[in-house]
Structure 1
Amino acid sequence: MHEEKALKVYTYHGAGRVSMKAEDFAQYDVVITTYQTLASDFMPRGKAASTGVPERKLRASGLYGMDWRRIILDEGHTIRNPSSKGAAAVTALMARSRWALTGTPIINSLKDLYCLLRFIGITGGLEKLEVFNSVLIRPLKNGEPTAVFLLQAIMNAFTLRRRKEMAFIDLRLPKLDEYVHRIDFTEKEKERYVALAKEAKGVLTGVLGKGKEQTFAHLLEVLLRMRQCCNHWQLCGGRVTKLLAHLQEHGGTVDLNPETKKALQDVLQVQIECQELCPVCLETLHNPVITTCSHSFGLECIAKVIETQHKKCPMCRAELPDVESTLVGPANEHGDEAADDEMDLTQSSSKLEGMMKILAATRASGRGEKTVVFSQWTRFLDIVMARLDRDGYTYCRLDGTMTAAQRDGALHALEHDAGCTVMLASLGVCAVGLNLTAANQIILSDSWWAPAIEDQAVDRVHRLGQKRETRIFRLVVDKTIEDQVLEIQAEKRKLMRLAFSEGEGKRDGGKVKTGRLADIQRLLASQEG
């Protein structure tokens, strides 16, 4: 490209960015920024969300002082929460054209799609959430054919859908095969799992019944431990259970100390993984935090409640004096846990043995193939790491507890160190923005409720630049809750196919989900005990 024809690009982000006006931005062809910077310009620090910012002041400078030719959102599903500050920030930009790029427009429900449609400028009343609910979301849940036709008409009019498996795309990617590797519990593991299943059924009875009240958080926590037990029994710690029992017995709040803070973060992680709703705005948790009385909210929502409603929790009326001393956020931005010194890393499990058989066969093939092992739980990665050490593997690791420099080092080792044949990776960290094509084999140690997150992680490996045929091994303990997680994944894939009038893909299938408590009843109905 001739130098005089090169695009002039400006990167506008960070705390040290200079103040810019429309005429400053106009000197460049492309301006690159982040969602966080956009939200910061939209609502400067120190301004209460309830007071708003006058339109003339909002448009005076920064990104909002420019009438853009085109706004392009990368990873557009980032704005899927209609009540979030980020969604409001991008929608408020002035532009003649609006594009949103995403491989996962629907992660949990059609509300994810609403924000994208509102951003690109849909009208006719559908830009209002209550109308969108009444003419699309509720009728679709009731199976009304007219709503299906309306949804498909909207998607045909507003979207350009391109999937790498479409014949006319022809990315010339190597073949991708997926295998579900079913594993049987040992008798001892089965005893532990059945005990957890019985506990979950008892808690569910308490939630549904009129006797002694059981908290929904307690039920979700037991379900999480059932899933963790499928990986390794040592993941099923009792810290969360003790905290919930204390709160149920004594009421009120807990004093924050290192132990209770960690327990609250564990409870919050359960809520995040289960895609729980913020009780204030009834949307998926956004900037999730948990109170010292163990109720989870979106940060913006609970901060406003504390400010305007006499500093009390809207769920239990417990005293919440201020945001700083009563709210706890995730352990890190990806929710990954730090190492647990109390774990015995020498203990194995059926799933770990199944994984090691796959890795041993790969090493014995002599083809120099590399494997990425994904898990939701970094404590399970600790156990796998100890086993790899004992069996003489060279590996690297990528998770949310690591610094940026450490992550870069792991990526460099996978790509450039021929002896490094395994990467242990946190699913949340690897869902977007990475190139892992140095590997061509994937082991999914556990299944995520939202298949879009898994699909994005798989696409870090099976993407442009991949030269080898790629394999996915999904480890599933037979006749456990993991079977039902796969069904829920299939239901969410079905919703995506419905919206885009697509046929069933290789990774699709399953039954239709009804409601949250009904889902849990169905999950537990098939469990032994």
Structure 2
Amino acid sequence: MARKAKRKIETVDLTGSDNERSASQQEKTPKRVADNQTRRTAALHDYSPHTYSQQHSEAERNTWLAEENDEDIDEIFQSLLDSANGSENLILYGTLDTKIVGVRYYEGYATPGEHIMVRREPENPYDSNAIRIVNVRGEQIGHIPRTVASKLAQYIDNRWLAIEGMLSGYIATFDCPLKLRLYGPSAIEQREEMIGRMERDKLPLEAIKQTKREEQKRLTEEQKKATAAKRRMPSSSQPEFSSSSQPGTQTVPDMADLIESSERFSPRDAGQAVEKFGNGEEYLAAMPQAETPDRISTKMLPYQKQALAWLLNQENPVLPPVGSTESTQLWKRSAKATNIFTNIATNFSIKGQEPGLASGGILADDMGLGKTLEMISLIVADLEKAPQGGGEMGATLIISPLSVMSNWSDQIARHVKKNQPLRVYRYHGAGRKPMKPAEFAEYDVVITTYQTLASDYLPKSTGQATPKSRPTGLYSVEWRRIILDEGHIIRNPSSKGAAAVTAVMAESRWVLTGTPIINSLRDLYSLLRFVGITGGLERLEIFNSVLVRPLKGGDSAGAVLLQAIMTTFCLRRRKEMSFVDLRLPELSEYVHRIKFLGVEREKYDALQAEAKGQLQTFKDQSGAKANQAYNHLLETLLRMRQVCNHWQLCGERVSKLMQMLESQKTIDLTPENRKALQDMLQVSIDSHEDCPVCLEALHVPVITHCAHVFGKDCITRVIETQHKCPMCRAKLEDEACLVEPANDIGDAERDDGSNIDLNASSSKLEALVSILQASKKQKGNKTIIFSQWTKFLDIVQARLDRDGFKYTRIDGTMTAPKRDAALHALESDTSCIIMLASLAVCSVGLNLIAANQVILSDSWWAPAIEDQAVDRVHRLGQKKKTTVFRLVMEDSIEERTLEIQKTKRELMMVAFREKSNKRTGGKSARLGDIQKLLE
């Protein structure tokens, strides 16, 4: 009997009651919480070390992690790389049309255009080259033909290619048409080798050949642009000075003169283009408003009441009604059968069940718009709906960085009526008691930190996560909701921090962040996975296939999907939007260019020549020698940046240690060597290097006794499995071979025994003091001076003492009480007109509206941190016009940094493009930037 052209068979639910929900979507029951937890657990299992090439069962993965000596260290390291980057930075080589055979055993509902996953089956007893095709829920559809599998198996096993696919036609009796996309390395030398290999195996190469033609054309255009970019703008002349420069010996300039000699700078114009990926301003302005909850004492602004209405709606999503053509969280009801739902992103369909929907989302309003108040109003509004104050509703768990933990309790006390307060408990510190669910239920809000949550997730007694509910602690409770403050902290989906928050049992899940995308679109993936997106996008390889790659390739379908995701899960309003009507005073940003003096230029030019030589050495070397050359290059680049601030900062800090490591693999962790390693670690921190395992910005940075820098989560994972350094194979017995920074912020210690003459000046210091002197003429001005280097702050501080300025200071070397005292002085002491501030400690979680002027003493190529620092001053509550000066040395690494920052803003905020070729531990992407800096 002939089969129908399109087979409609109900999907078998392998995850239990994953998708069962009440018809009204309004009930808040333990069942719904359990369903959400099932979905999150499945997502965590999916993000395994063999995500892309060697998918195994859960038991096999656990065995893999336990067998420390059965797999070579290269395999461990490479699999971690695959897991981290999801192969999103590979490029398309060709498309292979084939089919799936053996589909008669599949009981799922297959849809043309449905994205699928490719899985190797080396253990298959009938064919060791077998390649299985499964749907986004892991259910087997069938296999690809033996002849095709015999070619592709080696490419998967050796990680030469990443393979993605989709169903290209209807499923029939014995087979189903399939289109496979073959992605390979983008590095030129690897690419040519791959092309030769694929030509021998007669695999399609039409896409890579077209790419090569386009690259040649683009290269010609870029060379023309680079020539034009070398033109310089005129700068103000700088006075000569001596090392004993005395205050009061120069004419004090007017602020108007300084502004006239500076270049107007609008770094965030590119960021406004991101709005095309979300709801437009007209739509946002027309959003409905909710009533301010009775227990809220603060008068909420209209846009904040709009946010409250959106938050309440997001916690209670409803599937499209019968006959509707609309979608809910990318799920659409079939027009032909009311019991069939299709995900418009992945084309995955289910029949006879309701798809799981996420309760929550991403609140990504600009910093300073009142995200904290909006979330407090949500908590209160929800409690007011329940009988007798809502005690049975369950508590809200707030996760925040330690530095802003107290802000939540302060803001709750400030915004909630005194006679109807929320019951708030701070669960933090080594002395916290093991609380039971009934004890947590006595509170409306429980506040803790990411570190505390991670500690509960991985107890020191076992060092292993226990996903099941526990009798005490944060994982013993089914929370009403979980809120992640500064939620971009979990942007690395393979980190223990991301795993810890995802494993929490909560009915609703919220992310608060002003920067949902910092480096790449993968940042957004991690947040969406935490919130609970379904339909296949919770799997990284599917996310890459349907969203990242199309966007990177300029496919309009990717932009449409991104817009659908952003409008569904994310609310983002900017301060500049007319309906927000913050009435913030004007923000003016300037680049103030400064000329080197002769002696400074000589020192800078010598360092630049040295850096160019080291860059060439790195390109010519491989293995351990290449790593040593790269470390030397980083050190020299850092010294080039420091000489731009002050010629005394750029002493060689780690050369002796590098020479020692050239003769031996590891060093003993004596106090002297530990300090030298901390200095080397500081180079990577100051240079904003990536972790070579996860390829993201260093998270809890540490350095090994073989002098390689990693994020702590990543290297401890490698130590647990192999006890070898993934960079040089040196033995790493346990975490005792790791050295941490001098403090938790990453600021260099102020008293390090260096012989710096605090009375010596520099061109940039003189320019900075000129701005301060001009600013002092205007009564009421207060200035924040940001720098990445505490040593430079020391020099500035000494100059302020000599010139009679009253100031305060805040940096990562200070205790929390001292930081609080510094903030209080800036806010309440009218004679304290300056704050010296470490960029690291001030970029997150502080309110600095007491100041109205910002001086950025130094820059690096990741602009988000600088933007956040400025937004601590120019935010809700600011009453004065705000002026920002970026101090830039003419014809230096700093000028070229501005160009790189501009590019990164455009990539992140407009096209959401990724760094290219992260495969080599992030260095290839970084080398492109380094080459631009040294041009």
Distance in 1 between residues matched to 2:485 and 2:451, nearest whole Å? 13
Distance in 2 between residues matched to 1:260 and 1:138, nearest whole Å? 45
Aligned to 1:72: 483
Q: 1:321 to 1:30 in 2, by over 3 A?
A: closer
TM-score between the two structures when normalised by the length of structure 2: 0.52
Distance in 2 between residues matched to 1:443 and 1:14, nearest whole Å? 36
Deviations 1:231-255 (A, max 9, x none): 112111212233223323x131122
1:494 aligned onto 2:494: no
Aligned to 1:415: 827
**Letter matched to residue 495 of structure 1:** L
Deviations 1:70-89 (A, max 9, x none): 22111111111212221111
Query: What displacement does 1:38 show?
Result: 1.5
1:313 aligned onto 2:725: yes
Aligned to 2:796: 384
Aligned to 2:436: 21
Aligned to 1:7: 422
Distance in 2 between residues matched to 1:59 and 1:498, nearest whole Å? 44
Distance in 2 between residues matched to 1:144 and 1:208, nearest whole Å? 34
**Letter matched to residue 160 of structure 1:** L
Distance in 2 between residues matched to 1:295 and 1:142, nearest whole Å? 35
1:430 aligned onto 2:842: yes
Q: 1:118 to 1:402 in 2, by over 3 A?
A: same
Deviations 1:314-371 (A, max 9, x none): 22122333322x2111111111112244111111111111101100111123x13111
SS at match of 2:431: coil
TM-score between the two structures when normalised by the length of structure 1: 0.90
Decide whether the 8 Å contact of 2:689 with 2:697 is kept in 1: yes
Distance in 2 between residues matched to 1:267 and 1:145, nearest whole Å? 45
Within a 5 Å distance, the mapping from 1:94-109 to structure 2 comes to 94-109=505-520
SS at match of 2:648: helix
1:345 aligned onto 2:755: no
Decide whether the 8 Å contact of 1:152 with 1:498 is kept in 2: no
SS at match of 1:297: strand
1:477 aligned onto 2:889: yes
Aligned to 2:867: 455
Identify the match of residue 46 of structure 1 among 443, 461, 465: 461
User: Identity, % of aligned pairs?
Assistant: 64
SS at match of 2:571: coil
Deviations 1:127-149 (A, max 9, x none): 12233233333443444443333
Within a 5 Å distance, the mapping from 1:13-412 to structure 2 comes to 13-49=428-464, 52-53=465-466, 55-56=467-468, 58-210=469-621, 213=626, 214-248=628-662, 250-309=663-722, 311-324=723-736, 326-339=737-750, 340=752, 341-365=754-778, 367-412=779-824
Query: What displacement does 1:525 show?
Result: 4.9
Distance in 2 between residues matched to 1:143 and 1:481, nearest whole Å? 31
Q: 1:338 to 1:526 in 2, by over 3 A?
A: closer
Which stretch shifts more, 457-466 or 133-142?
A: 133-142
Distance in 2 between residues matched to 1:182 and 1:243, nearest whole Å? 36
Decide whether the 8 Å contact of 1:151 with 1:499 is kept in 2: no
Q: Which has the higher Rg, Structure 1 or Structure 2?
A: 2
How many residues were matched structurally?
Answer: 510
SS at match of 1:337: coil
Q: 1:187 to 1:141 in 2, by over 3 A?
A: farther
**Letter matched to residue 424 of structure 1:** L
Decide whether the 8 Å contact of 2:686 with 2:788 is kept in 1: no
Distance in 1 between residues matched to 2:744 and 2:929, nearest whole Å? 32
SS at match of 1:96: strand
Distance in 2 between residues matched to 1:107 and 1:483, nearest whole Å? 22
Decide whether the 8 Å contact of 1:488 with 1:513 is kept in 2: no
Decide whether the 8 Å contact of 2:552 with 2:914 is kept in 1: no
SS at match of 2:452: helix
Aligned to 2:924: 517
Q: 1:148 to 1:200 in 2, by over 3 A?
A: farther
Query: What displacement does 1:199 show?
Result: 1.1
**Letter matched to residue 769 of structure 2:** M
Distance in 1 between residues matched to 2:618 and 2:551, nearest whole Å? 28
Query: What displacement does 1:308 show?
Result: 3.2
Decide whether the 8 Å contact of 2:584 with 2:876 is kept in 1: yes
Distance in 2 between residues matched to 1:188 and 1:262, nearest whole Å? 31
Query: What displacement does 1:390 show?
Result: 1.3
Query: What displacement does 1:380 show?
Result: 0.5
CA RMSD in angstroms comes to 2.3
Aligned to 2:239: none
Decide whether the 8 Å contact of 2:520 with 2:915 is kept in 1: no
Decide whether the 8 Å contact of 2:521 with 2:914 is kept in 1: no
Which stretch shifts more, 84-93 or 491-500?
A: 491-500
Deviations 1:91-126 (A, max 9, x none): 112222211111111222222222111111112222
Q: Which runs of 5+ in 2 are unaligned?
A: 1-294, 296-416, 918-922
Distance in 1 between residues matched to 2:710 and 2:648, nearest whole Å? 29
Distance in 2 between residues matched to 1:518 and 1:9, nearest whole Å? 46
Distance in 2 between residues matched to 1:126 and 1:225, nearest whole Å? 44
Distance in 2 between residues matched to 1:21 and 1:526, nearest whole Å? 56
Deviations 1:248-305 (A, max 9, x none): 3x13112223443233222222323444333334443322110111111222332333
Query: What displacement does 1:453 show?
Result: 1.2
SS at match of 2:588: strand
Query: What displacement does 1:16 show?
Result: 2.1
**Letter matched to residue 511 of structure 2:** A
Q: 1:389 to 1:293 in 2, by over 3 A?
A: same
Query: What displacement does 1:62 show?
Result: 2.1
Q: 1:525 to 1:112 in 2, by over 3 A?
A: closer
Q: 1:172 to 1:246 in 2, by over 3 A?
A: same
Distance in 2 between residues matched to 1:175 and 1:281, nearest whole Å? 40
Distance in 2 between residues matched to 1:20 and 1:40, nearest whole Å? 15
Distance in 1 between residues matched to 2:929 and 2:480, nearest whole Å? 50
**Letter matched to residue 263 of structure 1:** A
Deviations 1:463-485 (A, max 9, x none): 22211111001101112111222
Distance in 1 between residues matched to 2:686 and 2:560, nearest whole Å? 32
Q: Which runs of 5+ in 1 are unaligned?
A: 501-510
Distance in 2 between residues matched to 1:487 and 1:288, nearest whole Å? 28
Distance in 2 between residues matched to 1:294 and 1:373, nearest whole Å? 33
